Structure 1
Amino acid sequence: MSSEEYAPPKYVQIVQSIRRRIEDGTYAPGSLLPSETQLVKEFHVSRPTVVRALQVLQLRGVIEREHGKGSFVKAAPPVAVEENSRPGRAVLDRAEADENGVLVNAGAHPAPGSVAKLLGVPEKTPVMMRRVLFRDADRPIDLVTIWCLAELADGTGLGSSDLLAVSIRQHLQEAKGLKLEHVAERLSARHPSADEAKLLELRKTAPVLGVLASVYNGGGRPALVVDLVLPGDLHELEDAYSL
């Protein structure tokens, strides 16, 4: 199998390239990064791929983005931490419409046992399920399923067939005044289910990273469960912290 099959997703390659240029002084603190159009041409990718890379850099505190002005290198970029260090948070801060999202399904669905337990409801209780597949230019890169308590999903766009133009966290705050404050994640290495393998275009024996995250509101109650599936050959998780 060729090494190209194990290359990181295009947006990760852009993130890594920009980080290296910041570290070697090509992009000095406070300087303006190339425009989205320039990055699209340089890396030969789609605009959503560039937007996702810039969002990752912004979330990691490496750059600041100003509407109508562009993206600027922060004066003191933090210690490098890869974009998947907090996968649950990253999901909540992604805008589906900006990142090559493809809606798989959305609507009421009986909560499976593991999800029901995390949400604090009986198994098979009807909850809102929203599943979106994200693609790079070449292949699927992750599969996200959001499970939300029915009463919290009511009046939101989580059941809509349209891709969300803002992040789930921002959407819930705007639609319901719901503030998400805490995430608890559980990671596992496993094989994909038949549905996951089909959607992610993987062999049934391919390794995946599974992230099951409980998301709590400001009152400490579970509001969402994020089920994230990452192809093992495209992702690794890294963290940095003080002792």
Structure 2
Amino acid sequence: MSSEEFAPPKYAQIVQTIRQKIADGTYPPGSLLPSETQLVREFKVSRPTVVRALQVLQLRGVIEREHGKGSFVKAAPPGASNQNPRPGRAVLDRVEADENCTVIDAGSLAATAGIAKLLDVPEGSTVVRRRVLFRDDERPTDLFTVWCPVHQAEGTQLGEAQPLTAGIRQHLQASKGLKLQHVVERLSARHPSADESKVLKLPKSSAVLGVLASIFNGGGRPVLVVDLVLPGDLHELEDSYSL
């Protein structure tokens, strides 16, 4: 077998290279990373692959991405070599229009018992659901679903089929003046459901990482429920903390 058969995906190679450059000081804390166009040229890959690598770095808490400004290296907190991963926050800051994604469905439906409990609304009440499939140039990379009470979604584009031009967190603040303050995440390793297997093009016996996040406003009321499904062979979460 050739060594190429064991090579990690292209986006993972970019992640590794950027992290090495951060570690050796090439990209110090607070510095601006090269633009997506520059990274496309440097690594000789497509833009979706570069975007995917940057999203993974954001998911791991290594960088911050600011729409229209670029990607910045995060400063390490005192006493730690890296910040904890924040999958829920990272997905709320993703800009769909900047990534290779498909809005599978967006609109109103009745809340199931589980979603109603998480949103603290009556079972069967109307909520807005948005499901988005993200890809790189090789395969689907993650499936994102968000639920929101219908009164919170009014005046926003959460129930519309076009990709959002701002992250959900920024979009809600701009359109509703709503600030998201607190996240509770639950992570689970499991097999995909039949629907997830079909959408992500995964065997039913494969492993996925599920991230279920409840998002609260400043008053402690749940505003959103986020479900993020990540193919296990494409993703890893790591943590760094002091003993």
Q: TM-score, normalised by structure 2?
A: 0.85
The match for 1:105 is 105
1:131-174 Cα distance to aligned partner (Å, 9 max, x none)? 00011110111100000010000110001111001100000000
The match for 1:227 is 227
The match for 1:153 is 153
Please state whether the residue corresponding to 2:173 is helix, strand or coil: helix
Alignment of 1:1-243 (within 5 A): 10-27=10-27, 33-54=33-54, 57=57, 60=61, 62=63, 79-81=81-83, 85-243=85-243
Please state whether the residue corresponding to 1:235 is helix, strand or coil: coil
User: What is the distance in 2 between the residues matched to 1:217 and 1:223?
Assistant: 6
1:52-105 Cα distance to aligned partner (Å, 9 max, x none)? 54466567364786957x66656x5562357xx211111111111112121100
Structure 1 residue 108 displacement after superposition: 0.3
Gap runs ≥5 in structure 1 = none
Please state whether the residue corresponding to 1:165 is helix, strand or coil: coil
* Greater mean deviation of Cα atoms: 38-47 or 51-60: 51-60
User: What is the distance in 2 between the residues matched to 1:215 and 1:63?
Assistant: 20
User: What is the distance in 2 between the residues matched to 1:91 and 1:162?
Assistant: 17
Please state whether the residue corresponding to 2:156 is helix, strand or coil: coil
Q: TM-score, normalised by structure 1?
A: 0.85
Aligned length: 239
Letter in 2 for 1:80: N
Letter in 2 for 1:189: A
Q: RMSD over aligned Cα, in angstroms?
A: 3.0
Gap runs ≥5 in structure 2 = none
Identity in percent: 68
Structure 1 residue 227 displacement after superposition: 0.7
Contact preservation (8 Å) 2:39, 2:50? yes
1:117-144 Cα distance to aligned partner (Å, 9 max, x none)? 1001122221000000011110111100
User: What is the distance in 2 between the residues matched to 1:239 and 1:231?
Assistant: 19
Contact preservation (8 Å) 1:130, 1:158? yes
Contact preservation (8 Å) 2:67, 2:95? no
Flag the 1:183–1:29 CA change in 2: closer, same or farther, 3 A: closer
Contact preservation (8 Å) 2:63, 2:71? no
Contact preservation (8 Å) 1:215, 1:224? yes
User: What is the distance in 1 between the residues matched to 2:152 and 2:204?
Assistant: 35
Flag the 1:193–1:62 CA change in 2: closer, same or farther, 3 A: closer
Please state whether the residue corresponding to 2:203 is helix, strand or coil: coil
User: What is the distance in 1 between the residues matched to 2:18 and 2:142?
Assistant: 22
Contact preservation (8 Å) 2:32, 2:73? yes
User: What is the distance in 1 between the residues matched to 2:65 and 2:145?
Assistant: 29
Flag the 1:118–1:8 CA change in 2: closer, same or farther, 3 A: farther
Please state whether the residue corresponding to 2:227 is helix, strand or coil: strand
User: What is the distance in 1 between the residues matched to 2:53 and 2:219?
Assistant: 33
Please state whether the residue corresponding to 1:239 is helix, strand or coil: coil
Flag the 1:205–1:132 CA change in 2: closer, same or farther, 3 A: same
Contact preservation (8 Å) 2:62, 2:73? no
Contact preservation (8 Å) 2:119, 2:225? yes
